[in-house]
Structure 1
Amino acid sequence: MTALKSGNGPVKLTLRYGLLVVVALIFIFPLVFMLVSSLKPDQQLLSDTSSLRAFLPVGDISLDNYFAAFKRAPVALFIFNSILVTAITVVLSLFLCSMAAFSFACITWRGRELVLAIIIATLIVPFETIAIPMLMVVNNLPWVSSSGVTFGWLNSYHVQIVPFIADGLTIFLFVQYFRDLPKELIEAARLDGATWFQVYSKVIVPISGPVFATAAILKFLAMYNQYLWPLMTTQSEQFRPVMVGLQYFFQLNIAWGEVMAYLSLITIPVLAFYLFLQRAFIASIASTGIKG
């Protein structure tokens, strides 16, 4: 019986890893197709889609599509705008939403359950239903800058950042995680004389790496893929993000090689952020003070 069990171990392990490899290939194929297609001229790109050559860097391979993409649109500016807006929004969102969630999960105050229920209820409201009212509001809001007080937030970075700093999903994620943390840690810190902000910053945050990483990934993807709101609020190339910039490649004659090159370029920040956050996530798990 022991030999049978030990014999089944490597077989099961091989099947498991084989399944994981198949799943990984399914997810990586679109990236490979995008990258390979960005190196081919349009005629070859379209003809190769009917065979496995679509996933192979064969034929007339060059970087011409990338040079053409930079000539057609200010690609670097669009990527910079998206990274700037996304990074600021993610940082502010993690800080403010986690603090709000801490108050809901760890501090007792009158009406907190009602307020939390209202915040969670906003998740069922489609953004398209509030886009026009939001546009009318931000078009009349004041903003203080180096040139003085101005009214109207259109054509700016802050119009893409401020409305999305706080959201129901991020707060809900933090609340659910904070509620599962040991209450003894909070009670011990309070008995030692720590303020609520000290409890949050020195006790809760250091052991909440997984939820911070999860919330950061979801927020990053949501902000980096923004299209409708930037399209409505930015008329100048100076502030447009990558998704709005994609429409430059569908005007007049569509060059699919340039489209693939543009998509490859705007995917790089997403992959870089994922790899960075993966390391941060592993480090947070290794350094946490809570052990089973």
Structure 2
Amino acid sequence: MTMISADTQGLRLATRYAVLVLIALIFVFPLVFMVMSSLKPDQQLLQDSGSLRAFLPVGDISLDNYAAAFQRAPVWTFVFNSVLITGVTVVLSLVVCSAAGFAFVFVRWKGRETLLAILLATLILPFETIAIPLLLMAANLPWLGLDGISWGWMNSYRIQIVPFIADGLTVFLFVQYFKDLPGELIEAARVEGASWAQIYRKVVMPLSGPILATAAILKFLVMYNQYLWPLMVTQEEGYRPVMVGLQYFFQLNVAWGEVMAYLSLITVPVLAFYLYLQKSFIASIASTGVKG
């Protein structure tokens, strides 16, 4: 019976791993196709797309598409802009939204539930409904810079960052997570004489690794994939992100190999962010478990 039980358990484990590997391959195939296609000329790319050769480095393999992509558009400028805009927005959003969630959950003040309900109601509004009013407002806002006061935020990084620092979804995620934290920790800190700022910084945030990682991933995806808003507010290449830069490859004659090369290049920051955040997420889970 012991031998049969062990064999059955081994079979189940092997089946489980086989299913997980299959699911992983399904998600990896588009990336492999993208990279392999970026190394082939357009004619071979289209011929191989209907067979397994599309996923293999066979035929006329070269880096010509990457060289052509850099000639057609300022790729590194677009990548730098997206990384800068996304990184700054994610960091500021985590700080602002976590502080707002802390205030909604732990601090008692009049009207907080009403304000939270109004904030959550904004989740049903698509961004397209407020894009034009937001554009008209941002076009006439003052800005204090090194050269003095200027009017209008068009063609700048700030117009792509500031409107997206705070959002209802991120605040809601922090509110729901903070509600599950042990209230005894907050009460003990208050008894010890800690201020709300100290409780937020030294008690709550060290326990918030999982929600920080989750909110960072969601915010990163939203900001890195921005297209409509940057297209509306930037007319200079020096401020345009990667998704707006993609339209450069669909003007005049479309070269699909160059498109795949560009997509491969702009995917690198996403994979780097994922690998970094995965390591930080696992470390935060282990740290939280020890502290608990």
Q: TM-score when scaled to structure 1? A: 0.98
Distance 1:190 1:182 in 2: 14
Deviation at 1:67, TM superposition (A): 0.5
Q: What is residue 81 of structure 1 aligned with on the other side?
A: 81
Deviation at 1:106, TM superposition (A): 1.2
* Equivalent AA in structure 2 for residue 78 of structure 1: F
Deviations 1:257-277, CA, capped at 9 Å, x for gaps? 000000000000000000000
Distance 2:11 2:57 in 1: 35
Deviation at 1:107, TM superposition (A): 1.3
Deviations 1:101-157, CA, capped at 9 Å, x for gaps? 001111121111111111111110000111001000100100111111111100000
Q: What is residue 191 of structure 1 aligned with on the other side?
A: 191
Deviations 1:228-248, CA, capped at 9 Å, x for gaps? 000000000010000000000
Query: Any gaps of 5 or more consecutive residues in structure 2?
Result: none
Distance 1:70 1:252 in 2: 17
Query: Any gaps of 5 or more consecutive residues in structure 1?
Result: none
2:166 counterpart SS class = coil
Matches within 5 A, 1:1-292: 1-288=1-288
> How many equivalent residue pairs?
292
* Equivalent AA in structure 2 for residue 137 of structure 1: M
Distance 2:18 2:120 in 1: 40
User: Over aligned residue pairs, what C-alpha RMSD do you find?
Assistant: 1.0
* Equivalent AA in structure 2 for residue 214 of structure 1: T
Distance 1:290 1:175 in 2: 23
Q: Which contiguous aligned blocks of 4+ residues in structure 1 show a shift greater than 2 angstroms?
A: 1-7, 289-292
* Equivalent AA in structure 1 for residue 230 of structure 2: P
2:193 counterpart SS class = coil
Q: Which moved more, 1:234-243 or 1:109-118?
A: 109-118
Distance 2:62 2:120 in 1: 50
* Equivalent AA in structure 2 for residue 122 of structure 1: T
Q: Is the 8 A contact 1:209 1:284 kept in 2?
A: yes
Deviation at 1:50, TM superposition (A): 1.1
Deviation at 1:27, TM superposition (A): 0.3
* Equivalent AA in structure 2 for residue 60 of structure 1: D
Deviation at 1:290, TM superposition (A): 6.2
Distance 1:234 1:49 in 2: 36
* Equivalent AA in structure 2 for residue 190 of structure 1: R
Distance 1:99 1:278 in 2: 24
Deviation at 1:5, TM superposition (A): 2.8
